[in-house]
Structure 1
């Protein structure tokens, strides 16, 4: 654990719960070298700090107006 109480490494299921990134996508990112991890016995542990830095560098989504709102303004 780090000094602030957060773990340095997290399991794959924990990473998936924290980030919402699927298990399959997580393994793809690990294979591509985008995320770093360590093996401890049979467990794969992701470097949480590095993973969150990677996640922070991802582009923000482009969010458009929901279809229902567009339709109401166009019909009126």
Structure 2
């Protein structure tokens, strides 16, 4: 635990709950070296501070409103 009471490392399920990143995507990021982790027995523990720094560096997607459906008007 760090001095502020937050854990230094979190389990994969805890990481998924905290970030919303899926379990399979988390394993992809670990395999690619994007996230750092330690193996303790059978558990994989992600470095929380480094993971949150990585998450902050990711670009937010540009979200736009979908095109409104155009209504056809009948010509009389």
Q: TM-score range by the shorter chain?
A: 0.7 to 0.9
Tell me how far 1:63 sits from its aligned partner.
1.1
Following superposition, which runs of at least 4 residues in structure 1 exceed 4 angstroms of deviation? 66-76
Q: Structure 2 length normalisation: TM-score?
A: 0.85
Q: Number of residue pairs matched?
A: 76
Structure with the largest fraction of helix: 1
Q: Structure 1 length normalisation: TM-score?
A: 0.85
Tell me how far 1:54 sits from its aligned partner.
0.3
Mapped partners of 1:73, 1:38: distance in 2: 63
- Inter-CA distance 66–39: structure 2 relative to 1 (3 Å threshold): same
Tell me how far 1:33 sits from its aligned partner.
0.3
Mapped partners of 2:74, 2:65: distance in 1: 13
- Inter-CA distance 66–40: structure 2 relative to 1 (3 Å threshold): same
Unmatched 5+ stretches in structure 2: none
Cα RMSD over matched residues? 3.7
Unmatched 5+ stretches in structure 1: none
